[in-house]
Amino acid sequence: MADNKQNDKEKPAKEKKAKLKKPGFFKGVKSEMKKVTWYSKADTTKSTVALIVVMVIFAAIIGLVDLGFVSLLGLFA
């Protein structure tokens, strides 16, 4: 019985510590984000355009392969 009462008293203290750590966590995140070296807008734009071009090329290739398989299966059906 004495242990249960003692655990009940300890729980709120632990919860308070956890609540106090949250602002510290976000301050840490903010300080780390300031240390990050971000790409310039021009670099980001170039990378985005390159990614879109590659995606379109692969989509066309997959579409052509799919069309070929459909045509091939149409010959057997």
Percent of the chain with pLDDT over 70: 71
pLDDT in tens, 11-47: 565 555 555 566 788 889 999 999 999 999 999 999 9
Report how far residue 6's alpha carbon sits from residue 25's, in angstroms, rounded to the nearest whole number.
Answer: 29
Helix (H, G, I), strand (E, B) or coil at 3: helix
30, two tokens: 């903010």
45, two tokens: 């734009």
pTM of the model: 0.55
Got the DSSP string for 4-25?
Answer: HHHHHHHHHHHHHHHHHHHHHH
